[in-house]
Structure 1
Amino acid sequence: MATSCAPAPINKKEYISDIGKVLVKEHGKKQFYEPEEVKKAHRKSKWYDGLDFSCWAMSTYSSHSDFDRYHQETGEICDYTQMKTEMLNGLSVSPNSDWMDIPDLDIDTSWLDFGDVFDGVLDGIGDVISGILDGLS
């Protein structure tokens, strides 16, 4: 039976920063981290209190295909684009809105798979981009 992902962390900027620091310390700076690496980073962070909401960090630090594969294997129903949009919006509207000061943060934009756009998958991509840009302004 499929389940939904846990709710997003309230302080997204602090969460992403903390998980990013653990990932870089444990695995070095990489373009993408495997979902299991992100899950372990979550467990090592101050955020872990028995509740696993690491898929929110996976939406930021893992590739789209790895994220989807992980969720297919676990049976969780999570939307990479929606979750990544929410996480990045959370970074941009935080009280200290300069989220680029997060050490070693490389925000991947491959989730904006424009190849899909040209194959006719236009549903929602404008809303996603608009949502991010609204959050940055």
Structure 2
Amino acid sequence: MELKCPPAPTNKKEYIADIGKILVEEHGKKKYYMPEEVKKASKKSKYYDSSGIDWHCWAMCTFSSHSDFDAYHKITGEVCDYVGMKTEMLSGLATSTSANWLSIPDLDIDASWLDFGDIFDGFLEGIGEFISGIFDGL
């Protein structure tokens, strides 16, 4: 039987902000965080559900490298799609009602984790305009 990740958190912006803040406080700014660091941060976040629902995979697809994400899931036996999940998380951030979702008070994260290479590789021309539209004003 394949283990699958739970559905994405409803408020992606707040979830990612919470995890990002914990990661920076505990590990400093990095381009990527190890899956174990992300999982621990997720368990410390206000979004950790004591009933067992943990969205750590959703944070991992955002803050961990593709290769680390895949290696972690190979070990755990969970079937999670890095590109699909990261696309969903970033799309949730892009459609946020906030005009500038990185202007979250006291959040000091390195936006270099917004690595679009895996997500947009092979998409039609014009994707640059789409991305620049999302991140105007950063």
TM-score by length of 2: 0.80
Q: CA RMSD in A?
A: 2.5
Q: Which amino acid aligns with 1:59?
A: C
**Matches of 2:83 and 2:130 in 1, distance apart?**
15
Structure 1 position 126 matched with structure 2 position 120: no
* CA shift for structure 1 position 113: 4.5
Point out where structure 1 has 5 or more consecutive residues left out of the alignment: 118-124
Spell out, residue by residue over 1:64-119, the C-alpha distance to the aligned partner (whole angstroms, 9 max, x if none).
000000111111111111111110110111111312324214242545159xx6xx
In 2 relative to 1, CA 25–109 (structure 1 residues): closer, same or farther, beyond 3 Å? closer
**Matches of 1:113 and 1:101 in 2, distance apart?**
25
**Matches of 1:16 and 1:109 in 2, distance apart?**
12
In 2 relative to 1, CA 72–29 (structure 1 residues): closer, same or farther, beyond 3 Å? same
The number of aligned residues is 126
**Matches of 1:23 and 1:101 in 2, distance apart?**
17
Q: Which moved more, 1:101-110 or 1:3-12?
A: 101-110
In the TM superposition, structure 1's runs of 4+ consecutive aligned residues that sit over 3 Å from their partners are: none
Point out where structure 2 has 5 or more consecutive residues left out of the alignment: none
- Could you tell me which residue of structure 2 aligns to residue 30 of structure 1? 30
**Matches of 1:76 and 1:11 in 2, distance apart?**
23
